[in-house]
Amino acid sequence: MLDRAGPVWVVGAMSGTSMDGVDLAVIQTDGVTIAGFGDTRYRPYCEEERAVIRAALGRWPGEPGVAEAALVVEDAHIAAFAGMDGARAFGFHGQTLAHDPARGRTHQAGDGARIAAETGLTTVWDFRSNDMALGGQGAPLAPFFHWALARHIGAERPVAFLNLGGVGNITLVDPRLDRPDLPGACLAFDTGPANAPIDDLIRARRGDRFDRDGALTCAGRADDAVVAAFLRDVYFARIPPKSLDRDAFAALAGQVAGLSDADAVATLAACGVAAVARGMDHLPQLPEQVLVTGGGRQNPGLMAMLAKALPCPVAPVEDVGLDGDFLEAQAFGYLAMRVLLGLPTSAPGTTGVAAPVGGGRVTRR
């Protein structure tokens, strides 16, 4: 059994909307503070595995292809974990196949009970359902970890963490408050599409997985008319918290269909940045800086657009000593510890849930 005696090592895992692979990261935590970071692992999906997952996107439990996708996800996590020692618990997020906050439902493929059986670790999983049952969006879930990170790096004033994965999400953190569930400690929401439309276009047009080194983003010229039309979507006027499905803006592909590869990618990148800039209007105060994590921080063109569009300094999380490749995996290790100790994992300011609530099913070993 875990208790409140002090920090322990927990492994967290993430298989994100980019579907590139599985990230595993070990973190030492008491569910409040971060005492240390440990081993990290990355296990990429092969093309065949990625195709199985992609075929199940937008589907719900019991629908065709879902069981096959879950098996791929579970097998990849088990393979990535092999040989990892020292952790006391496992935070298993699974692979999001569908997310429909308007109807209070979400679907992460993968059986945490199997993960527990294969790893021998008590496993926390199905992190989002409790939040949605109480009226929350079920996402984003990393904000409480962002609060802990802000305190860990010694931030003394509000900072923002911007995750640019398939979907973009931002957390405004005030590290001066003593708990992440207190009003004003965290405000978080999905900003809009980020890498997903770019990745999908690159795959469709070039058979590649992403804009390597941001080459096309840097070479292209954004179509301002497409960006302006994109920003007229009602989502951007909605007051946060709010969240999106990976394919919520799938229509963007048709809107850039007549553009060259470079101009299309630059336009999609500009849309993602414009969504972040519009999201900043919802923050009650400007952060001291915006710290960027997720794959988007490795796109120089996108980062340059952000630096120009946002009214405060922008930097990758590596500038403050963090690892942007494994931040989300670390987050689910941290959240797993909170679940095991009966602490909340979301609050009205992060998901719109009615009151601070803990999520997650626990399979004990």
Whether the Cβ atoms of residue 362 and residue 200 lie closer than 8 Å to each other: no
pLDDT at 252: 96
pLDDT at 17: 81
SS3 category, 12:
strand
Contacts of 339 (CB under 8 A, 6+ apart): 124, 127, 345, 358, 359, 360, 362
Give phi and psi for 26, each to the nearest 5.
-100, 135
pLDDT at 4: 61
pLDDT at 6: 87
Span 284-294, mean pLDDT? 97
Query: Is pLDDT above 70 for 2?
Result: no
pLDDT at 147: 98
- In angstroms, what is the C-alpha Rg of the chain? 19
**Widest CA span in the chain:** 61
* Cα–Cα distance, 285 to 272 (Å, whole number): 21
pLDDT at 18: 82
Strands (E), 215-347: 290-293, 314-316
User: pLDDT tens digit string along 107-146?
Assistant: 999 999 999 999 999 999 999 999 999 999 999 999 999 9
User: pLDDT tens digit string along 77-114?
Assistant: 999 999 999 999 999 999 999 999 989 999 999 999 99
User: pLDDT tens digit string along 152-167?
Assistant: 999 999 999 999 999 9
The DSSP H or E segment spanning 266 is helix 261-280
How sure is the predictor about 207, in pLDDT bands with cuts at 50, 70 and 90? Answer: very high
Query: Is pLDDT above 90 for 1?
Result: no
* Cα–Cα distance, 185 to 101 (Å, whole number): 23
pLDDT at 175: 98
Kindly list the structural domains of the chain, giving each domain's residue range(s) and its CATH number in brackets, ordered by start: 8-139+326-363 (3.30.420.40), 154-320 (3.30.420.40)
pTM above 0.85, yes or no: yes
